[in-house]
Structure 1
Amino acid sequence: MAFFTGKVALVTGGSSGIGRATAVAFARQGAKVVVASRRVAEGEETIGLVKAAGSEGFFIKTDVTNEADIKTMVEKTITAYDRLDYACNSAGMEQQPTPITEQTEETFDQIVNINFKGIWLSMKHQISQMLQNGGGAIVNISSAAAIRPIPGIHLYNASKEAVLGLTKSVALDYAKSGIRVNAICPGGVKTEMFERFTKDNPQAADAIIQMHPMGRVGESEEIADGVVWLCSDQASFVTGQILAIDGGFILQ
């Protein structure tokens, strides 16, 4: 039986990788799915996959660093479906390893705005709507690097750790309002981001794989399964928690 029949899910960063897999996973469980991303063609492709999975939804072009875009994203969801039950905030970006002495303010602003501010803005407007619904569930995508930092990507590590602090504090505020907020910390996952990070550097790819005791990086669908569980009634007593889906990465 589908977990989410009659429910509505919103996924940011839904044009590829974990976000796309999560949108499809929600659809397979019966949810209507709204996909948000800056990339139009890829976002529409995700909606095609949502429909192929047996559900419905639509794409909205969204820059998660822009509050007007986020507000519009939630408003269009309500206009179309009159409710918002679940959200997965997956939009994010990587950082190439760089000594801190060579990092730029532009890079700082870009990474912090997308990885941290974007989740803060998304939750601000998602929760405003969920309070009107009488509850909901949010899952923020952080990173195992928030728990076990990777050398050279200081801004990425810090932005993802900030997501954990935000998740836990917001979960405290809204626990009695029926809104559960949790985070997932993926290890290395076979996504476009992973491909960009290791582009032209097979040694880097091998090094990342060796950081995982299971001897491989994950699949986007494995992270999406965690999102679905955290949003489901099977996790009804779970809030403010950090779920590592990382092949053992943080154990080393």
Structure 2
Amino acid sequence: MGGGVQGRTAIVTGAGRGIGLAIARQLVERGANVMFADTDETALAAAMSDYDERDPHVRSFTGRMSERLATANLLSATLDAFDRVDILVNAHRLVKASDPLDTDPDVLEHLLRENMIAGLRMTQIVAKRMIRQAEEAPEAGSAGAVVNLSTLAAQHPVPTMLGYSIAYAAQEQATRGMALALAPHRIRVNGVRFGSVMSHELKESLRDKPELRDRIIEATPMGRIAPADELVETVMYLASDASRFVTGQIVTVDGGRSLADRVAVQTV
């Protein structure tokens, strides 16, 4: 693998809209072959309308990321189209509230399955392919990169979203564990924990609760909500050999929001 992402093959889950779509588009812009994957067929079709269906560098896949068969089929479709896989970005997520005092076990299991287990399974199956590729080219440098998107809720639990918070705390630990397991195979695994970034879900929340914008900006030391592109740049760094000695790290992109106790700041 070289210094950038040109000529490499990437799978991006959650690529039908929002941050996942922004990541997939930027990979295409930088010369990568990209498999856009999402559970939402309508959103994915809309995203793919920007590309010529004959473009040999872009493909799409619709399936439930939490199902074993879907992950296997996604990898197979990627190999059929591009013969290899070098980058995996797990951007698929499910944002859903849950009652901390009366959490329905089915809801908790669903959130864990969608936000942690799905990405872990995808990492496992893709890593096996990356290991095979590394064995075929033992002197080729880095053998692959995995980037998992996380959330501030993993570090700072949100009581009304207990299951979501738990799932991402587990996902971050899985990122570290897989980084240790895959390092001997020259595969890097890192995460990006974000907040105060304009995701699809945040747009939806602001549409319903416009007053939330001021609360987020007030809680963010840099005083703004960042566009998705600013998060994308961090993902590009972790996906490329610019970070070839970086693994097992959770990089926070939040304008300083996780650093400050806003009550303390206001009373000092």
Could you list the per-position Cα deviations for residues 56-77 of structure 1 after superposition, in whole angstroms to 9, with x for gaps in the alignment?
2111102111010000000110
State TM-score, norm by structure 2.
0.87
**2:194 match:** 186
SS of the residue 1:64 aligns to: coil
Aligned-partner residue type, residue 233 of structure 1: D
State TM-score, norm by structure 1.
0.92
Structure 2: how far apart are the matches of 1:160 and 1:244? 13
Counterpart mapping for 1:158-237 below 5 A: 158-237=166-245
Aligned-partner residue type, residue 121 of structure 1: R
Structure 2: how far apart are the matches of 1:205 and 1:60? 34
Counterpart mapping for 1:48-197 below 5 A: 48-49=49-50, 56-96=57-97, 98-134=98-134, 135-197=143-205
Structure 1: how far apart are the matches of 2:75 and 2:109? 25
| C-alpha displacement of 1:13 | 0.4
Moved more, 1-10 or 168-177: 1-10
Unaligned 5+ segments in structure 2 are: 135-142, 261-268
Aligned-partner residue type, residue 118 of structure 2: G
Structure 2: how far apart are the matches of 1:122 and 1:4? 20
Structure 1: how far apart are the matches of 2:257 and 2:48? 32
| C-alpha displacement of 1:102 | 3.7
- Given that residues 64 and 121 in structure 1 are in contact (C-alpha distance below 8 angstroms), is that contact kept between their aligned partners in structure 2? no
Pair 102,201 (structure 1): closer, same or farther in 2 beyond 3 Å: farther
Compute the RMSD of aligned alpha carbons.
2.1
Structure 2: how far apart are the matches of 1:121 and 1:99? 27
Structure 2: how far apart are the matches of 1:152 and 1:64? 25
| C-alpha displacement of 1:50 | 5.7
Pair 117,154 (structure 1): closer, same or farther in 2 beyond 3 Å: same
Aligned-partner residue type, residue 73 of structure 1: L
Pair 9,198 (structure 1): closer, same or farther in 2 beyond 3 Å: same
**2:263 match:** none
Q: Quick one: percent identity of the two aligned structures?
A: 27
Pair 101,198 (structure 1): closer, same or farther in 2 beyond 3 Å: farther
Structure 1: how far apart are the matches of 2:29 and 2:188? 22
CA radius of gyration, larger in: 2
